[in-house]
Amino acid sequence: MQIDLSLSRRRFLGTSVAATAVLGFSRVPYLAAQDATPVPLLGWSDDFSDNGLLNVATTVAPISSIVRNIGGNRINLRGIVPDGTNSHTFEPAPSDAVILSNADVLIANGLDLEDPTIEMANENLPEGAAVFTLGDKTITPEQYAYDFSFPEEDGHPNPHLWTNIPYAIAYAELVTEELSRLDPDNADYFAGNLDRYRTALETLDAAVQATVDSIPEENRRLLTYHDSWAYFAPNYGMTVIGAIQPSDFSEPSPRDVADLIDQIREENVPAIFGSEVFPSGVLEQIARETGAEYVDDLRDDEPPGDAGSPEHTFIGMMKRNLQIMAGALGGDPSLMDGVDPADTWVP
């Protein structure tokens, strides 16, 4: 499948221009955090500057959202991979080299997810700055998942660790360590933000488990287009019975599709899940031929809502995903109602 990167990039720049315009009128939207302290919704499209704050570049939105919740307003944060882009095939633009040449660090997932961006960072980061990857510091090679779209023979592990919330907590802890190393004067501030964010992630983790538990046991099976639930499923008691996207991110072959249709009929799968970022006519065809419900809006790295809305966060994304899964598989989506998706950092 071809992704029009130029279009995504225009959308992304449009978003930052809009955000800047809002800031220009001093009308930053505020909302109540969990401790009722107002938190400005800063997103992750700051311009880097010499304002004395760390210039922190990140890659995909889940990582950007985690870094914002630790760094708060004491970092300049710039996500390189635009929302709604296929992060697995994303190629950074020359303008990203300029951003990286002004960064104090690139915080990335690693595990082969963002190789072109990491390569560009290694060539362009200033003297003394480095890439800091999270995935390989969170689990050991023995824990890497190799599965449908990430077969072991290709040598690229499934990189989607953050869908398993304890791993997302580990990411937040690693980010806190790295920001504190780079800016020791703000270490206490980052640690306070980590405490609040960890509490929010633990609330999310418990709600995810309760929501999965509400799904009838025979329905706790995921058949998805994009293979992003390899670490989520075993932790919460679900099984990924298949992922449709080939390892080169092309469309599946007619033979693959025929096999899947057989599998869905045999296993009596109630729903198959597509993705916002990977629309697939193939899934619609499979749904038509098998009678399974086709749900097209699971997302592994694109938060819901507009940039600047309280749900446009990592927690908001996982909340939405679980509501969608529970709704399609016979569980209780309202068990996610108590999860506040908003940022938890304080100024």
Q: Residues in the site for Zn ion, rule: CB under 5 A?
A: 228, 300
Minimum distance, C-beta of residue 278 to Zn ion, in the bound complex (Å): 8
102 versus 158: smaller Cβ distance to Zn ion: 158
112 versus 267: smaller Cβ distance to Zn ion: 112
Minimum distance, C-beta of residue 18 to Zn ion, in the bound complex (Å): 26
Phi-psi sector, 85: left (phi>0), alpha (psi -120 to 50), beta:
beta
Minimum distance, C-beta of residue 151 to Zn ion, in the bound complex (Å): 16
41 versus 244: smaller Cβ distance to Zn ion: 244
124 versus 228: smaller Cβ distance to Zn ion: 228
Question: CA-CA distance, 307 to 52, in Å (whole number)?
Answer: 25
Residue 106, strand partner residues: 57, 131
Q: What backbone torsions phi and psi does residue 255 show, to the nearest 5 degrees?
A: -65, -45
Minimum distance, C-beta of residue 88 to Zn ion, in the bound complex (Å): 6
Minimum distance, C-beta of residue 205 to Zn ion, in the bound complex (Å): 20
Q: Are the beta carbons of 319 and 311 closer than 8 angstroms?
A: yes
How does DSSP classify residue 234? Answer: H
276 versus 284: smaller Cβ distance to Zn ion: 276
Q: Which residue is nearest to Zn ion (CB)?
A: 300
Minimum distance, C-beta of residue 334 to Zn ion, in the bound complex (Å): 28
Query: Which residues have CB under 8 Å from 122's CB, separation 6+?
Result: 131
Phi-psi sector, 251: left (phi>0), alpha (psi -120 to 50), beta:
beta
Give the end-to-end CA distance of the chain in Å, rounded to a whole number: 42
Tokens of 229: 């639930």
